[in-house]
Amino acid sequence: MASLKRSVESDPLAANISNKIYVRSTKSGKVQKIVREVYLRRDIPCSSKLCQECQHQMVIPKDALGKPIPFVLSDSPAGTKVFPQGHYLVPDTNAFLTAMDLFEQDSAFYDVIVLQIVLEELRNRSLPLYNRLISLTKSEDKRFYVFFNEFRLETHVPRLEGETVNDRNDRAVRKAVAWYGQHLARIKGKSVPAIVMLSNDRDNLKKAKQEGINACSLADYVKQLKDGEKLLDMIPETQDQDQIKEKRPGDNLYPEYFSMSKMMTGVKNNLLHQGIFNVSPYNYLEGSIRVPAFPKALLILGRENINRAVDGDLVVVEVLPKDQWKEPSTQVIEEDAITKNENPDAEESDDFVSEKERKALQEEVKRTHSKTTEGHAQPTARVVGVIKRNWRQYVGHIDQSSVSQSAQQGRKQDSVFVIPMDKKIPKIRLRTRQVSELLGKRILVTIDAWDRSSRHPSGHFVRSLGELETKAAETEALLLEYDVQYRPFPKTVLDCLPKEGHDWRVPQSLEDPGWKDRQDLRDLLICSIDPIGCQDIDDALHSRPLPNGNFEVGVHIADVSHFVKPGNAMDAEASIRGTTVYLVDKRIDMLPMLLGTDLCSLKPYVERYAFSVIWEMTPDADIVGSRFTKSVIKSREAFSYEQAQLRVDDSSQQDELTTSIRTLLALSKKLKQKRLDAGALSLSSPEVKVQMESETSDPIDVKTKVHLDTMSLVEEFMLLANTSVARRIYEAFPQTAILRRHGAPPKTNFDELANQLKVKRGLDLSVESSRALADSLDRCVDEKEPFFNTLVRIMATRCMMSAEYFCSGTQAYPEFRHYGLASEIYTHFTSPIRRYADLMAHRQLAAAIEYEAVHPSTRSRGKLEAVCKNINVRHRNAQLAGRASIAYYVGQALRGKATEEDGFVMKIFSNGFVVLVPRFGIESLIRLRDLAEVEPQAEFDAENYVLETKGSREVRLELFQKVRVRVTDQKDETTGKRGVKMELVKAY
């Protein structure tokens, strides 16, 4: 019987075929054995520019356009002390896993060979790191080459019997290194670069030595480099096998995580719950998690229950028994205050929950026990495992108190704590040699690990952003914290711009393809109204009376989709950025300057392409008809809100432009009234504006924004345009229209506020519909205190859901509703220069009016959903970054000054209260211990929201109360952080 198996002897090509066998588990629970044949080849180039053999004798692989892919590795790579002849690096998987930051350095790590096996392993272990490595391989100047070692005959390594996968992969790496060495050694006449394997695995290094391969550990290699000392900090602590002490069970501070399969089983069967872990901004020991099984979030209290979860992680929790249910804390617990003066070196602290933390908890228990009503306790849970870490790079600064004296002088490695800017992130233990240099700087760090035996997570230093409180450092810190892409646009993006640059003009000839299907609206009296100094003018308006007594009103939006074609590099970049981010002194554009501030911007006196929405309206602002068209316009004037307001108010101005603005104003007021009648909410958030000194752009004053009629004029017509466009694109694309919805907030969100209003003012907040809410908010007035209404609105705004972009196919029509605007359907159309969603809406509208064909990317639901998800996140981050920027500048404007201002109590705790100062739009916590030298005794009545102090200072504070506070700035000596500090002067 001849064997049916493929035999090596009989088949001449057998050596070129290998196979790979593994087990695949599918999501549905199927388990399959997969056998893949691997066809080995000899024509995969080494990609070294030195290698003549590969360049000439081989068919060079071509890219999609048929152009040969250029060779990557330099012909004169940099040398080090040990390899003066130059070298190529071959890192193993662990090197990338532990020190990706190193590879992203500009000063070193060029000419790197990324083996396929390493890349694949990295993808399995960490997708974010994989993506970072991929972007490195794409950058031309770093010269990273992916070598498909598994497919090249000479470097393919079949797995030996009894060999573990890891050992086999290590062997494959060594084999590839050896092959590269032999392959390049054949080059004649030139000095050949050394091939250096980078690995932290002792065993691998030892074997490499035996096989005569150049190999270094990361640390050894970095020491050979010029600025090695600094880079050394970026290598995380290596957990060498022999370094790990035999840990006694008692040494583990945290409970062990469940196995992945146990968690998955539990989650599937609803015994455990999965969700995103959130830390309370007021209490770092209190977290909450929203899980699909329950309408309200579960509480997670205390270090042990939080069990090494960090804000944003996807975790699995177990609900605790009822006797451990608690009330959410009414106390403010801040990490820096409580764990101050901890010694980062002393890891073997006997008690895991520190004395101070314990005390804080005791208070808690006392309070719970003193309660007569048990009904208030909320279900609590504990974290039993982490599905996915959401660790990123964190901005922070070194806690001065954690630095030992010796560390400030010497250059030996020392442990310090880094306090992240984000209060929700625990402090990070960092080992560094440059303590003295990094003190007082904003630094970027990453978390590497959080062991069961370590109280705090450990991380490593990435780079320094600069001195604390310098504008550059703080701005960059903000951008990094909110993940804003602020690097300059790459060349590929700039290549997509029109070649004419700033000289681009609307073509003169009407025969030009640019004029195809475009309406000529150049003779209309169009003007734009924007904030002062606005350069990216998205929108312009016009109105004119019609013979039948109605009005024609037009909204003209910059035609960005004409310049940004779907699918090109600029479009990809814009879809990633998602939105333009406005900081006080800086704007980070979504589109390159040329488009944003010139070619697309509807500047006055020049012709521009636009996308116009034109309505016919009755004098009562009822819409008779609407149409959409691409157009060419010429704006007559660019007004600021203030200018426009002055012009409208000045009755001597009777020219046509001014009259048309007056018409618009009159119509907008009617539109607004209609909207309010339909139940639109008028919400509020404290808005301020920082005034800068023009030369140095140092902040000099803070102003609250004044509301002008012209602002709501523009707003109303933009809302109208958005709604009209939303209807149109939904009609054309019922499955794929990009829309924006604002979900009705769950009733429970308002429970607290409604109760507060009821108890304190006897006011009823009805939340059945947006109309009811709007009406009841209108009733929330206090004759003596005009600001009370605004205060309630600010607090109500915080109970709302956030609006989101979505793809119409993913929701049922009733869910489209925009709660805040009380509109059935809504989208964003009017700011395509600064929002990607608007650009998508433009493309869809253009397709809907048959101006152009539908591009696949605006039609594929999967892609649109991904885009929506991204822009929702970006939008939120941009808002947060903007607010944080204002907060920082407000702090800077107050620097060195002390002012007394009126404020209002917004939130009350048993050991402090939060005051909002409308003048500056800031809120700050005042603790009881700040009230007087000796912390006064206090009695907290949680039911009535009253805090009464006795002893060293006697005050009675209650919710919504007006207070007088002294606002100063203060730099906390231990944390090096400047913040607004408020002191209570008196309670009204």
Partner 1 sequence: MASSQHVLLSPAELSYLHSSLSLTPPLRPDGRSPTQYRPLSAETGILPGTNGSARICFADGTEAIVGVKAEVEKTKRRWDDDTIFSENNHHQQQQQQQQQQQEGEEENEGRNNNDEEGGSSDWVELTVEIPGYRDDDSGTVFLGQMLSEALLADGGFVKRLRINRRFHWKLFLDILLISPPLSYPLPLLSLTTHLALLATRLPKLKSEGDEDPFFDDDWAAAPYLYARDPATKRVAERPPVTLLVMAVGGNIIFDPSKEELAVADVVLAVSVGDDAQGKGEDRMDVDGSNPGRNLKLLSIRTVDPPSRLTPPGVANAANSAYGHAQVVNTGANQKMPEARQTESEAVEGVWKPPRGGAKAVVMGALVQKVLVRGGVADEVLDALEGVDTS
Residue ranges binding partner 1 (CB under 8 A): 1, 3-5, 19, 21-25, 29-31, 33, 35, 159, 161, 163, 165, 259-262, 264-266, 268-269, 271
DSSP for 658-684, written as a single string? HHHHHHHHHHHHHHHHHHHHTT-----
Residue 22 or 813 having the CB closest to partner 1: 22
| Residues 221 and 215 sit within 8 Å (Cβ to Cβ) | no
Among the listed residues 615, 738, 613, 611, the one whose alpha carbon sits nearest the alpha carbon of residue 671: 615
Q: How far is the CB of 25 from partner 1 (least distance, A)?
A: 6
The encoded tokens of residue 691 equal 């005034």
Residue 385 or 921 having the CB closest to partner 1: 385
Q: How far is the CB of 249 from partner 1 (least distance, A)?
A: 19
- C-alpha 482/C-alpha 807 separation (Å) is 25
- C-alpha 740/C-alpha 875 separation (Å) is 12
Q: How far is the CB of 45 from partner 1 (least distance, A)?
A: 31
Residue 264 or 873 having the CB closest to partner 1: 264
Q: How far is the CB of 151 from partner 1 (least distance, A)?
A: 20
The encoded tokens of residue 215 equal 């190999």
- Does an H or E element contain 10, and which? none
Residue 20 or 138 having the CB closest to partner 1: 20
Residue 169 or 663 having the CB closest to partner 1: 169
- C-alpha 289/C-alpha 296 separation (Å) is 9
| Residues 574 and 589 sit within 8 Å (Cβ to Cβ) | no
Q: How far is the CB of 164 from partner 1 (least distance, A)?
A: 8
CB within 8 Å of 271: residues ≥ 6 apart: 265, 318
Q: How far is the CB of 24 from partner 1 (least distance, A)?
A: 7
End-to-end CA distance of the chain: 103
CB within 8 Å of 384: residues ≥ 6 apart: 255, 257, 258, 263, 266, 272, 307, 316, 317, 318
The one-letter amino acid code at 292 reads: P
Backbone angles phi, psi at 37, to 5 degrees: -85, 140
Q: How far is the CB of 274 from partner 1 (least distance, A)?
A: 14
What SS3 state is found at 774?
A: helix
Tokens 């000529």 map to which residue? 520
Q: How far is the CB of 20 from partner 1 (least distance, A)?
A: 9
Residue 128 CB neighbour total at 10 angstroms? 12
- Burial (Cβ within 10 Å: 0-12, 13-18, ≥19) of residue 366: exposed
Q: Angle CA(360)–CA(361)–CA(367) in degrees, nearest 5? A: 100
- What is residue 586's DSSP assignment? -
| Residues 454 and 464 sit within 8 Å (Cβ to Cβ) | no
- C-alpha 156/C-alpha 147 separation (Å) is 12
Residue 217 or 274 having the CB closest to partner 1: 274
What SS3 state is found at 691?
A: strand
- C-alpha 561/C-alpha 610 separation (Å) is 10
The encoded tokens of residue 213 equal 């391969």
- C-alpha 526/C-alpha 143 separation (Å) is 52
Residue 719 CB neighbour total at 10 angstroms? 21
Among the listed residues 968, 820, 818, the one whose alpha carbon sits nearest the alpha carbon of residue 898: 968
* Helical H segments across 371-499, by residue range: 405-409, 435-438, 471-481, 491-494
Q: How far is the CB of 260 from partner 1 (least distance, A)?
A: 7
The encoded tokens of residue 523 equal 């003779």
Residue 8 or 23 having the CB closest to partner 1: 23
Q: 119 vs 144, 214, 250, 517, CA distance in Å?
A: 12, 21, 39, 50
Q: How far is the CB of 37 from partner 1 (least distance, A)?
A: 9
| Residues 201 and 95 sit within 8 Å (Cβ to Cβ) | no
What is the bridge-based pairing of β-strands 912-917 and 922-927? antiparallel
- C-alpha 887/C-alpha 881 separation (Å) is 10
DSSP for 468-504, written as a single string? TT-HHHHHHHHHHHTT---SPPPHHHHTTS-TTGGG-
- What is residue 403's DSSP assignment? -
Residue 31 or 532 having the CB closest to partner 1: 31
Q: What is the 3-state secondary structure (H, E, C) of 263-285?
A: HHHHHHCCCCEEEEEEECCCECC
- What is residue 391's DSSP assignment? -
What is the bridge-based pairing of β-strands 393-398 and 381-388? unpaired
- Find the farthest-apart pair of alpha carbons in the chain and give their distance in angstroms, rounded: 110
Residue 162 or 786 having the CB closest to partner 1: 162
